Amino acid sequence: DGIGLDAINDSFLLEAAVYQLLRKYTKGQPYYLNLLELFLQTSYQTELGQALDLMTAPPGKVDLDRFTEQ
């Protein structure tokens, strides 16, 4: 109860932390922008893929067990 919403919020915090760490440790490096774009593109593709999987599932039969960390 409420754990799902907490997990969603935690995922946003973790993603934001990635960008804070990138800025802290690589800002000013010649590869900073490329690294930032890589993480942004990867996040976008992951979120888009998960959204498409959920949208194309049969109504009322979303199988969240298909989503793993891999």
Q: How many domains does the chain have?
A: 1
Side chain identity at residue 6, one-letter code: D
For the cut 70, the answer to whether the pLDDT of residue 17 exceeds it is yes
| Number of residues assigned to the chain | 70
pLDDT in tens, 38-65: 999 999 998 898 888 878 877 777 677 7
Query: Please, which residues have CB within 8 angstroms of residue 32's CB and are 6 or more apart in sequence?
Result: 22, 26
> 27: domain range?
3-66
Confidence of residue 3 (pLDDT cuts 50, 70, 90): confident
Query: Please, which residues have CB within 8 angstroms of residue 44's CB and are 6 or more apart in sequence?
Result: none
Q: What pLDDT score does 52 carry?
A: 86
Q: What pLDDT score does 58 carry?
A: 77
> Are the CB atoms for 42 and 22 separated by under 8 Å?
no
